[in-house]
Amino acid sequence: MEQNTTRRKNNEETIFSLFCVTAALLLTLNSADYFAHAASNEDDSLTEVKKGPEPPLTQDSSDTEEFDGYWTKEKMKNATPVDLHEEVKIDPKANFNKREKDASKEGPTDISEPVMPESNEIQALNLSVPSTAGKVFFKYKGNNYVCSGSSINNNSKNLVLTAGHCVHGGKSKGWYSNIVFIPAYNNGSAPYGVWYYKEARAFKSWIKNSNFSHDQAFFTVYPSKGYKLVQKVGGNGLATGFGTNQSNVRIFGWPAEPPYNGGSAYYCEGPATRVS
């Protein structure tokens, strides 16, 4: 299992799996940014929050979020990769804060340690991806889209790390709905179940200004069938301040451009550098 790797390498693999590019943007943030979501006063927080639906859901709205049953195998297979669709496509050159340094001034900071799953129900459907990595599905303006994310070990044991543009469209756009996390997704199958989001958080600088430097997000999920997410699939460790120039990085992802179709996970390995 990839969770047995060293903390530093585990963190690198986690971050890079989210974007499937050679730019680990989260590594440029310091621990203060990460813990900003815990601010007691939301007005002072660097992030904004969207509450998910509560089970059972009773809403009378044209954009009702469905807690169960929406994400069928067919919908997952036909969901559009978010980076390939004009409606929510992100241009990383549009607003990138070049003044930010490659690493935190405070140096490397460990926030959490990686842990193995407790359920002992490992489903080896695709050995290219660990159980902690998966796809993030969501709905926006009536259309279905897909990103990727990773389960993160923290006190709640129900945390997912993803990109900001996987929960919110950025400047002049809005929050997405029907957000779910499917660990180790494989051609329409959900070997570890479908995990429905409870609360999503993204940086205000992304929401208001589409600042690509802060294109990161977290969301919590509801427990499923008696397990919390990390208990079921394990959790990657999280650290900040290592910078983006790294060696021995493994990138997980579900490539969707030809000749790939987004159904299966792949990985590549090697050194990583920051893109301009």
Domain tally for the chain?
A: 1
Per-residue burial over 218-231, b if 16 or more Cβ lie within 10 Å, else e, is bbbbbebeebbbbb
What amino acid is encoded at 127 in this protein? L
Long-range contacts of range 32-35, CB-CB < 8 Å, 24 or more positions apart? 33/203, 33/240, 34/111, 34/238, 34/240
* pLDDT of 103: 47
> What is the SS3 assignment for 34?
helix
Kindly report the CATH number assigned to the domain that includes residue 84. 2.40.10.10
Strand partners, 235: 115
pLDDT digits (tens, 9 = 90+) for 184-202: 999 888 889 999 999 999 9
Question: Parallel, antiparallel, or unpaired for β 216-221 and 109-112?
Answer: unpaired
Kindly state the percentage of the chain with pLDDT values over 70: 68
pLDDT digits (tens, 9 = 90+) for 119-136: 766 665 556 788 999 999
pLDDT digits (tens, 9 = 90+) for 191-231: 899 999 999 999 999 999 999 889 999 999 999 888 999 99
Range of the domain at 176: 2-272
